Every structure is written in C-alpha cells, then in structure tokens.
Structure 1
C-alpha cells in the first residue's frame, strides 16, 4: 500500500517565542513534523490503546542567538510520566559495555568514589546502581516514573529512589555529584532546571555535574527525522548545551560525544558567575545554521528514499520488521505513516513483548518469534547495534536483508 506522510514538513517562519535557554525573543521555525504520539516509552497494553494514544504537534524552532532548538508547540500538560514508562537499554550487551565504560570513567577520572550521587531522571535506576557498585557510592534517584517493584533488587543501604520531579527542595540532599542522563531533552524550561541545579549546589564548589543527552547536530546533518518526537521538546548541540551551563554559573570542563557520536557528554563544576567558553566544540553557532540548512535540503530526499523503499517492499510482497521498540521507531513509523507494511517490531527487552507502539499500534515481539514469521527485511533503527543484531539473527538461523536507518 502507498505510504502517507507529511508532504510539506519544511518551513521557514519567525515566531515571537522566547528561547527557553537564553531568553531571546524570536525563534525561526524550520521543521513541521505534524502530529506525533505524545509518548514514546509508555507501554501500550492493547492495540486499541496504542492507536488512540494522544497526539501532539511538533514544530522545531531555532534560536539564532544561542543555537538552542525547541518544539514551539510543546504542551507539557499532554504528558503523563509514570511507572508504565519502559526505556531501559540494559538488555543489550553492547549498551551494557558502554554503560560500564562510562561508569568507570566517571568514577576514576572524576573521582566519584565513596560519594553521594544524585541522579535527576534516574528512570529504572540501572545506571545509578552501576555507578554506586563500581565506585562504592551512595545514590539517590529522582524520577516521577520510578517503579518500586522494579527497584526491589537495589541495595537499600546504598540507594534510594524518590518518585517525583526534581526541584529546589532537593538541595538538602547535599550531593557530591549530580548526574542527568537523557532527561534534559524532555524538559521545556531548560534554563530554569539548570538554575535550580546550580542553586541546590550552593557553595559546594567541588561538586561534579555530568549530563548526557542526544546530539542534535548529528540529527540535523543526517536528516534523521526519526530522532525527533514529541517527548523531546529540547534539542541541543555541543555548543548550545555548554552555553546554557556557562550562563547558569557553571564552568564546563569536559565536552565530548559518545555512542557513535549520538550522545553529548558534558562535565561541569559550579562557578560563582557566568564563565567564558574555551573548549573547541563550544564555538559552533555558524555550523548550527549550516546544519539546519542541510537538514532542510536533505530531509525531502531522506523521506522519499524510505517512501520508495517501503512501496517496493509492499509491491514485492516482502515481510518487513523493524528492530528496536523504542523512541526512534515511534518517530520513524509515525512520521512516515507506516501501517500494514511493517509486520511487527522486535525488541530484546522482554517487558515490551506482546505490547504495542503508541500511535501506529505495531506489536512488539521477541527476537525468537522471527523464527516463525521469517522476515525478508530487518530495518535496524540504531546502527550501533548492527553487529549485535546480525549475530542474533545468525544464531536464530535467519538471513534477512539488514538495512540500517
């Protein structure tokens, strides 16, 4: 069947909206994704629940002053983070190797050992448990989606979880280190959050702060529209993230990318006033404008490429599955308007099996179930998992065509 999708997603208009990071009035909207599911990581128990999931409008606007990008149509009242969220990647051996490496780096290079560690947006608590184990630290996880049942295996003498949003009242926790991984992109009031973090630290100037989040520069350069979705209302490049930290009285000491250059990692320490940039990757304002232009030029080609591929698959009767029941897949199938062409979605996380993607309603199944369906094509939504997935398919005796998004 033909693929329906937003036929005119590129726009170029000015809107009188204040930048959440620097406060400058006036953003340049450059991408209109239309309506997308408001949640990507909520577990949908039934097909009916999945296809009736609320949708929200996504329009990306660039602040030409600081390089920050935001969804100008974001409405936080549409979201409902709860224990039904399922976003852990720790069922992947490849991801676990990365998490182990990162935890060891933070413990050894930053001296986060036998310290009190607060993690903002701790999710299932996997990484907090890891860094507490590696560094013999004491951890406090703050996340409204914390599920006490999921965390029952945690060492209660070393870790506790607060099922709530982070706020200034948490300053009493007196953390030696504050972590925030893949949460800031969900926060609409970015400067407000960083200001709160800085106030909570007070005069404890030795506190180490570590943030990790998606690199929007890569998304723009690759026209990776599947990495744009409603839950992510805030989009940072390396420079725009560092500028926000410096503006809110932090000194950025380390700035780099990880995980196939998909993640930005930033380390900062508190300062007594705004600080000046000095790291090479902070000076990216010109390149951000170039990347936005490239995104606008290449997006149509990328969408048409996938449009043609799926119509070819349908015409030849090929069975197509997508590997990865996560946010990228939700963004991919809902932006392209895929429905019957995709047989199912595969994921290694057993908590997702026999559940459904919000919006499109695709069922999520186990890798082993592919032995019965015998797909002709497997689309891998994240290329960092290509080797791992190829090996799993071989172990199952399957040899489909594998295409990386």
Structure 2
C-alpha cells in the first residue's frame, strides 16, 4: 500500500496536520439558492475534512476542490437586511474613514457583494469607492446609484491596484481562498512603497471553536481564521497589524494593517491556545449533532429555520431525516424568497407567511438576531417555541 503524503499547511508550510472534524455530503455552495426542489436536491455536494496545523493553528479543509467553486450571479449572502447588521456596518464604515482620513480619497473593496459597504464609505465622504465581485457581473445594485461608487463584475487582480488607491478592504473573502498567502503577497507587491492601509474581515474561528458551532463549517470556506493564524498571515506577507479584534458578537475577526517588511517565519504565541480549543471542538462536535437530531426527531409540529444562510442550511442538511417536521426557511432578504435551499430542498419564505404556516418551533440560526426575531413574531401575534442553533 502506498503511503499517504503528509498534509502541508497552506499558511506556514508545516507538515503537522491533525484531523479535527468531518462532514460529508454538504452543499458546495450554501449561498446559491435554486429555482425548484429537483434542482436543489441535485445541487453539487462535497466533503469537509478539517485539519489543524499544530504549528501556526491554521485550520483548513483538506478535501476542498477549488475548481468546484463558481461565484456567479445568483450567489446571495448579503446580511444587511438585519437592523443589527446595518448598525454594525455603518459604524465600521464611519470608523475606517475617520481613522485613516479617507474623506476625499479612493478606496477599493475586494469581494464587495452588492456594494453595501461601498455606499456606506461614500456616505462618509470617500471620493470614490470601487469594488470587485464576479457574482455582480451583469447585475444591478441600488448601492451603485452614486456616481462615486462602482462595481466591477469580475475577480480582483493585483494589477487593478495601479489606479488611485488610499485603502483596501476585503471582507469575508479570505476564508474562500485555497491560497491566501498568494493574495496577500500580490497585494503587498502592488502597494509597493505606498502607505496604503488594509482592512480584512473574516469569520472568527476562535469563536466557532469555543461555541462548538459546527454549523459555521461550510464547503465554501476552505480556511478558518483565528487571531493567531491571521496575525501570522499578515506578518509573513509584509504587513504590520495595527489592531486585531473581534466584532459582531465576537463572530467576526477584524484586522487593520499597514505595509511593512515581511517576517517570513513568524508564528504567533497564541497558536497553542487555538490548538487546544480545536481539539476540544473535535470531541464536542459529534455530540452536539446527535443532541439536535434527538430533539428534532421528537418534535411533532412544524419546524422552521429563521435564516437561509450558511449556518441554517448547513444545520438542515446535517439533520436530514432526523428532522421530519422541518418544512421551510424564513429570511428577511426578499431576493431569497420563493427560492429553494440546496441539498435539503426546503423553500425560503417571507416572515409574513408564518401566520398561515403557524410553526410549533422556530430555530434561530444566529443568536445575534434572537431579540429582533422574537419581537417581530410576537408583534404578529405568533407564539411558537424558539431555540438558537448557534451562538
């Protein structure tokens, strides 16, 4: 029998991988909804096999196949339909413009989605805000109504930094890349001697591990970034972190950095703490899946999941036949309504439709939205039981 080659960490190159969690038959793209149940049931599926680097604490999916990822029009992961997220994004935009004196200057965002953040930056005085996102090819957005806001519907390339650029944002993109080091090195080379600050935002793997939120483990995310791993990435590729902090209920990890000399062998002293948390996560995750399966198997009424995003869709697919009462997703995003979630093939409905459905149990996919969801349903005269999936 041929020996299996040791896995090489995509961040630091060490061959010290430890398997920590595996999910089979998960949707390849959670945030691509489908027009009918038949198409949703046959949506591409794959395997997530999480590995932990015991040197730098980076976590990645060793079963990831980058050629399967196609971010095209129809990909929908906007969060700004929630009042809580709107407040978070508005504060972020105002803070970045103030801290880096970006009023009257030029900002680029890599992976801008529908341009919500670009518009917020424009509201705060930037002279121009340009975003790159292939999912916006041929798609119109209300957030580009200002002449100063532009979305280029294609993948970002570092040669596009030859235009005026006083800051670079990249939010919830890094976790999708199988070679994150290459992107950071390309950006660093393109910046050259300019003093261009960068802001990156990713899901916080440290929170995911501590909360045992395996519903944040999705195929789209090849990399899972904790503060030590993210710090190592930036220092190794030639950036000096000014701040590394959590936000949005600790579910996001946010780094602000400026160009510096690379520290190519840097390892963060906090890596050992993340490694210990990852090992505890590995032991607890399987038990958490079984706990939810038992609970939903015994539920006799209708069950809905509020939040047709990655957490809710991953959860529903993991439950499978153990949740016979599960009948729909609910979402504030009208662009998702009347679409079908991949794999589990459940419809996405508007909150107003719950009055006729009258579910026995509403599962809330993210604890950050618990108060606003319960208040909305109570105001509508509905009194189901509630349970939070994550957070």
Judge conservation of contact 2:118–2:143 (CA < 8 Å) in 1. Answer: no
Q: Distance in 2 between matches of 1:397 and 1:147?
A: 42
Q: 2:336 aligns with which of 326, 338, 352?
A: 352
Given the alignment of the two structures, is residue 59 of structure 1 paired with residue 49 of structure 2, yes or no? Answer: yes
Map of 1:179 onto structure 2: 169
**Residue matched to 2:144:** 154
Give 1:180 deviation, angstroms.
0.5
Shift, 1:403, TM fit: 0.6
Q: How many residues align?
A: 386
- The question of 1:243 aligning with 2:227 is answered no
Query: Distance in 2 between the 1:322 and 1:202 partners?
Result: 47
Which of 4, 13, 31 is the equivalent residue of 1:23? Answer: 13
What residue in structure 2 maps to residue 318 of structure 1?
A: 301
1:323-374 deviations in whole A, cap 9, x for unaligned? 0001111211112325642111100011101111111101000000000011
Contact 2:105 2:128 in 1 (8 A): yes
Name the CA distance, whole Å, in 2 between partners of 1:102 and 1:57.
35
Counterpart Cα distance in 1 of 2:20 and 2:339: 34
RMSD: 1.9
In the superposition, the TM-score normalised over structure 1's length comes to 0.91
Partners in 1 of 2:279 and 2:61 — Cα distance? 18
Partner of residue 198 from structure 2, selected from 185, 209, 212: 209
Displacement of 1:175 after TM fit? 1.4
C-alpha separation between the residues in 1 aligned to 2:340 and 2:233?
37
Match of 1:388 in 2: 372
Structure 1 segments (4+ residues) deviating >6 Å: 275-278
Q: Which residue of 2 aligns with 1:76?
A: 66
- Superimposed CA distance per residue, residues 273-310 of structure 1 (whole angstroms, 9 cap, x where no aligned partner): 328989xxx53211111111210221122112101110
Match for residue 129 of structure 2 among 139, 145, 149? 139
Q: Residue in 2 aligned with 1:283? A: 269
Instruction: State the Cα distance separating 1:20 from its structure 2 match.
Output: 1.4
Residues 326-365 of structure 1 mapped to structure 2, 5 A cutoff: 326-338=309-321, 340-365=324-349
Map Cα deviations across residues 232-276 of structure 1 (whole Å, 9 max, x no partner).
Answer: 001110110011000000000111000110000000000133289
Which range moved further: 393-402 or 377-386?
A: 393-402
Query: In structure 1, the residue corresponding to 2:250 is in which secondary structure?
Result: coil
Q: Alignment partner of 1:83: what SS?
A: coil
Aligned to 1:9: none
Moved more, 38-47 or 243-252: 38-47
Unaligned runs of 5+ in 2: none
| 1:188-238 superposed Cα distances (whole Å, 9 cap, x missing partner) | 10101111111121110x211000110111111222110001000011101
